[in-house]
Structure 1
Amino acid sequence: MTVVVIVALLGAAIFYGAYHLLKRTKPFALGEHCMVKTPDGTLDLDIEQAQVAATIAAVAVRRRLPERALQIAYVTAIQESKLANLPYGDRDSVGVFQQRPSMGWGTREQLQDPVYAARKFFAALEKVRHYTTLPLHEAAQAVQRSADGSAYAEHEYNARILSAAFSGRVPQAVHCWYPPSDKPVTPQPEAARKQLVRALGTDSSTKRGWLIAAWYVTYAQKYGLRQVRYEGVTWTAESGHDGWRKATKPVATVQIA
């Protein structure tokens, strides 16, 4: 009986934690986390969620899609996976959008690549007539054809915050923090650039500067980046929790180190 109670409590705790991701909460002082802050509200994400959100935005911008398309992708990804690159799902569904290999979306390996998954999602969305004027949840359902398409509507508020931040429309909207590594870390800026180009393409104009800056901040831990600089402010890994700080020398393009 005791084991059953413990299992039930653990299940409830896991559900509660998952449910409250992407909610308006106070920042976490310790651990690994990211904060998204725009005039419309503030969200807390774990680092994987922030990386996924940044990648989806890069793919959308590369395809020259409107921010509305990005919002549709976000309501879908939040509902389907809580912005996590899942290796499992209902039946043979996998990945951020829970796309199914058996339905022609791609192989399991391809669908667990957020860049590929986002490309496939947007390619399908672009075929939906008048998707830019449809309610977000209706456009999402037209792509996903899920059992309950109305569920996507629950995430519209969060999707608007995410799209404003990760599209780069709102400057300094994303910052992350994580404990320092116990071992020496060699920065890999070239590897980071190559991964960004894979999602965004080669265009790194200043118009996309804050999208690029947000992407690098979310991937800083993975690639050992110590700082990201842009437009007179700097994010540093050692003080990531403090967000963007005024820099001594403004730069016109995003710089990483």
Structure 2
Amino acid sequence: MRLRTGVALVGVAAVVVAAAIGYGVWDRVGPLLTPDECTAQVSGRTVTLSVEQAENAALIAAVSVGRGMPARAATIALATAYQESKLYNLESGDRDSLGLFQQRPSQGWGTEKQIMDPYYATNAFYDALERIGDYESMRVTVAAQEVQRSGFPEAYADHEADARVLASALTGNSRHAFSCRIGDAPDAARTRLLDSGLTRRADVVRREVAQLFGDPPMGGFEPGGVSSGHMEGSAHYDGRAVDVFVRPISAENKVRGWAIAQYLVAMADRLGVQHVIFDDRIWTSGSASGEGWRDSDPPERSGDRAILEHRDHVHVDVFA
């Protein structure tokens, strides 16, 4: 058996409402059922994952970004999780091995409950990786083996190419390179605003991003008309939107912005995300999600292109 990613993240399992159903109708002429899935495309190589695998991969990459580690660290961690669990949070394994990295309580990795928390398990892996010291100069499989002490030390190399693609996309080093096809909208959730000025679903997103990537200035609900800077009809006025700022605009912050944006796409099914906008690109759940990241066409009524391009912040809004 396996456990869905993110259930312990920010302690909000009880308030994360039901997400999209796994199939959607995509053909306008004749109905064609296609399973939800995610893809990363970098340098001509494509990696395809189930939504559950993508959530785990995105979490592994996000933790590396939040810790200030290089993309190389994410590559090593992803290659390891590929080999150990196929990027699923397994509830069993060889002897007492558990979770994404098949860590063993008997070997000091933590309690069973801790290891089954993907956030804890990923941080435990990176803690061990950092203790190696020169892991960046090692072959991926060698660095992974230094952490894992596996009986099959060369097996990690089998997954290195795919891990590099995912790491490059999900750490933001490859822009709009990761996308998910998500079918139906989630069930309706409570729309009453919390003290944060956000709906419960949007507040979960805000807290999760803050936990993983740090706590930059974030804007949620802004009362009043379009003078607040958002267009009429914006999800901000319903408390369904969060802006994650990556200021000042720089190459480094652009990478960080894409890491956040593509993480949110990977988690769209679980978090009920409807749109993600960054750097003049937009991803939309539902039938349009099969198109991946599209150019963000400015609405006719907008006179401020900077607002529409979202160059200095990631905009995310959720379903009602």
TM score, norm. by length of structure 1: 0.84
Tell me which of 147, 151, 164 is aligned to 1:147. Answer: 151
Match of 2:208 among 195, 208, 223: 195
Alignment of 1:157-176 (within 5 A): 157-176=161-180
Q: Is the 8 A contact 1:128 1:142 kept in 2?
A: yes
For the residues of structure 2 that align with 1:200 and 1:40, how far apart are their CA atoms? Answer: 29
What secondary structure sits across from 2:39 in the alignment? Answer: strand
Contact 1:75 1:153 in 2 (8 A): yes
1:215 lines up with 2:263 in the alignment: yes
Do residues 254 (structure 1) and 258 (structure 2) align?
no
Q: Counterpart of 2:304?
A: none
Q: CA deviation at 1:63?
A: 1.6
Which runs of no fewer than 5 residues in structure 2 stay unpaired?
Answer: 1-31, 191-198, 217-244, 247-252, 299-307
Equivalent-residue separation in structure 2 for 1:213 and 1:164 (angstroms):
14
User: Retained in 2: the 8 A contact 1:185–1:224?
Assistant: no
Contact 1:226/1:237 (<8 A) preserved: yes
CA distance in structure 1 between the partners assigned to 2:101 and 2:45 by the alignment: 24
Q: SS of the counterpart of 1:169?
A: coil
**Aligned counterpart for 2:289 among listed residues 230, 233, 240:** 240
Separation in 1, partners of 2:133, 2:267? 35
After superposition, the CA RMSD in angstroms is 1.8
What is the percentage of aligned positions where both structures have the same residue? Answer: 40
Q: Are 1:49 and 2:53 matched, yes or no? A: yes
Q: How many residues align?
A: 230
- Taking the aligned partners of 1:87 and 1:95, their CA distance within structure 2 comes to 6
The alpha carbon displacement at 1:69 in A equals: 1.2
Letter in 1 for 2:215: T
1:73 paired with 2:85, answer no
Unaligned regions of 5+ residues in structure 1, if any? 1-27
The separation in 1 between residues aligned to 2:55 and 2:309, in whole angstroms, is: 26
CA offsets, 1:69-102, max 9 Å, x none? 1111111010001111111111111111111111
Equivalence for 1:94 = 98
Question: Aligned partners of 1:251, 1:29: CA distance in 2, in Å?
Answer: 34
Match of 2:132 in 1: 128
Query: Is the Cα contact below 8 Å between 1:115 and 1:199 reproduced in 2?
Result: no
- Write 1 or 2 for the structure with the bigger share of helix: 1
Contact 2:75/2:163 (<8 A) preserved: yes
- d(CA) in 2 for partners of 1:150 and 1:119? 23
Larger Rg: 2
Change (3 A) 1:146 1:221: same
- The whole-number CA distance in structure 2 between the counterparts of 1:124 and 1:29 is 43
Deviation readout 1:209-244 (Å, 9 max, x if unpaired) = 000001111111112111101111110002111101
> 1:213 is aligned with what amino acid?
A
Q: Name which of structure 1's ranges 71-80 and 34-43 shifts more when overlaid on structure 2.
A: 34-43
Q: What residue is the counterpart of 1:14 in the other structure?
A: none
Match of 2:309, SS? Answer: coil
